[in-house]
Structure 1
């Protein structure tokens, strides 16, 4: 039975064959670049497929031929510690269930993301876990139309109405902000990345709520220090400590001397530490600092950095289990929206 999307029947292979006046077998061979079809006919068929909005249902084909026992993972860049840990845990969970994993990278590019989605469609995957670029949700519509189960992680696209798992960014930043406010801070700056991601929006909102709950006004001009999106996605780490160093140095040189910083990643804290040290601003005597991520180096910083332990592995476990339940027909009808609260790790940088 053809799938109906918003009241409109999804075009089938037979519909496409009828539109071009050829057999379904010829149309299928042309779409799959098989021999026996002229270049002119192939171009005609592909143009008509695009006009009709035809999407090959590779998921249905897999059910006929037998599951490939393969799930796809699309993330921005595995140099991001969150995504590297997530991919590792997805692979482990998939292996236990007898599945292999196809890894595809978008590098924060909508074009690269589209290429990854197209490859996922061609590969006949049983299901897909993805952290979207968030530029356009419509890029994922062909996955849903093709009947491929999709679970999103980290970054949400509510209009897709699919399962979603993430660290609770809003609750996490409130934990770090509340911690410095409880230790007497009155003027707090959030040092975070200037990118249009739901994760950053939620952290900013949580930061604002925390300040206001403690009777402090939130002014973006005074309480936010944003690091420009100048990351290179082909380096060993996604965040540049020197970018944060420049932003923090500029803020301090303009006379802003907050008594606490909360940062959106521990790598930014490295740059902040240097900017403060060069100006003889002592941590924690003069300023409190809270990080984000609990990266391995944080306990070796001087002073050791208070931070958040993010639930990378738990996000991956829950997302993978949900996807496998979807693939195997075991999932209930509800759409899961699961935000997992991180754990506060207190060290010397926030203790007076």
Structure 2
């Protein structure tokens, strides 16, 4: 019986009376070992509690067998689903996941890029905090580490990017509010200089313009989203609440509010309710993200569901193909997956509103 130190190949070999090379070949499924011997060695390895040394394996394979993942905030339900899908898909290819958080900070981006370089990951999936200067990210592909952007592109770099078609999603949601009877619609959007915000705003204004409704700059209001004392939550409903309060008190109440994420809808609901207004009756509300609480609000929230799992699996597939040299590197793959409008009670004035 071995002691409490880490079980090695030598321990398994000594226990069975075979060579270390035979144990190594059996555990890596090399053809030069008989099935009977392979089964016996694997059973003994399991009995002894053997766990492969990833550093030693990396030296043998010439690969870290690790994918880096850089996101902005893991408490965002969208990114939580994304992480799960990426980890599951990566494990299927034999890769471990190194998770880093940039906290929407340029410094966080630079630190993450340096960490990925230092650890020599095989490839990386990144949600960049800043979409302008990507010099620190450029060093990774220059060092032979393929990158795929998630959800946000880096326009200055010719990198693969897989994300959501935010423009179409916002257009569809705004058009739905118009078709439900709204003639004035106000968008409460994040104040971050990122492509999802710009795309949602463009889709929202396009829907209003096509309907011949007011679509000026005053139809879009920015909600402060820069964190204060805590980075635990990606958004603060209170900020949207205070902004919606100001709009209600200002006397220019819109027929409908559309928000850039479902957390803002929480603040809008409270502001309207406190003013004696009925959500879904007096004022329509549409969200974005389809977070877990959306279906359980009263009334349930009409929102746009995002394909987080599909983005995660597609991104891993693309990254692995790049790492293995199976795709044409001369042309970046820019892919936007469709979002789905989920209609619930907050945007329907009739009693037969669909609740999902």
**TM-score when scaled to structure 1?**
0.79
SS class of match (1:261): strand
Deviations 1:264-307 (A, max 9, x none): 11110000000000111111111111111111111111111111
Q: Answer whether contact 2:69 2:124 (CA < 8 A) is retained.
A: yes
Out of 268, 271, 274, the position equivalent to 2:267 is 271
Q: For structure 1, list consecutive stretches of 5 or more residues without a partner in the other structure.
A: 1-61
Shift of 1:228: 1.2
TM-score by length of 2: 0.79
- Structure 1 residue 233: deviation in Å? 8.5
Counterpart secondary structure, 1:159:
coil
Superposition pairs of residues 18-57 of structure 1, within 5 angstroms? none
Match of 2:299 in 1: 303
Task: Extract unaligned runs of 5+ from structure 2.
Answer: 1-57, 350-356
Q: Offset of 1:340 from its aligned partner? A: 0.7
Please tell me whether the aligned partners of residues 107 and 233 of structure 1 are also in contact (alpha carbons under 8 angstroms).
no
Q: Distance in 1 between matches of 2:334 and 2:251?
A: 43
How far has the Cα of 1:314 moved from its partner?
0.5
Question: What is the rounded CA distance, in whole Å, between the counterparts of 2:95 and 2:299 in structure 1?
Answer: 44
The residue matched to 1:226 in structure 2 has which SS?
strand
How many angstroms apart in 1 are the aligned matches of 2:315 and 2:228?
28
Per the TM alignment, residue 162 of structure 1 is displaced from its structure 2 partner at its CA by: 1.0
> For 1:117-169, what per-residue CA distance to the aligned partner results, in whole angstroms no more than 9, with x for missing partners?
00111111100000001241222111121121000011111221111000111
**2:216 equivalent in structure 1:** 219
The structure 1 segments of at least 4 consecutive aligned residues displaced by more than 3 Å after TM superposition are 62-65, 232-236
Match of 1:328 in 2: 324
Distance in structure 1 (CA, Å) of the matches to 2:59 and 2:152: 30
Is 2:122–2:146's contact at 8 Å kept on the other side of the alignment? yes
Q: Give the corresponding residue for 1:54.
A: none
1:290-336 deviation per Cα after TM superposition (whole angstroms, max 9, x unaligned): 11111111111111111111100001111110000111111234321
Secondary structure of 2:198's counterpart equals: helix
Quote the Cα distance in structure 1 between the aligned partners of 2:101 and 2:297. 32
| Partner deviation per Cα, 1:163-222 (whole Å, 9 max, x = no partner) | 10001110010111010101111100001111111110111111111111111231112x
Deviation at 1:251, TM superposition (A): 1.4
Aligned: 1:127 with 2:148: no
Contact 2:70 2:126 in 1 (8 A): yes
Comparing 73-82 with 92-101, greater Cα deviation is found at 73-82
Q: Is the 8 A contact 1:232 1:238 kept in 2?
A: no
Alignment of 1:314 onto 2:306: no
The answer to whether the 8 Å contact 1:79/1:235 transfers is no
Counterpart of 1:230 in structure 2 is 226
Instruction: Give 3-state SS (helix, strand or coil) of 2:192's partner.
Output: coil
CA contact (8 A) 2:103 2:231 kept: no
Taking the aligned partners of 2:249 and 2:340, their CA distance within structure 1 comes to 34
- CA–CA distance in structure 2, aligned partners of residues 192 and 142 of structure 1: 33
The question of whether the paired residues in 1 share the 8 Å contact of 2:72 and 2:127 is answered with yes
C-alpha distance in 2 between matches for 1:151 and 1:81: 21
Q: State the partner residue of 1:345.
A: 342
Q: Is the 8 A contact 2:132 2:156 kept in 1?
A: no
Q: CA RMSD in A?
A: 1.6
Structure whose CA Rg is larger: 2
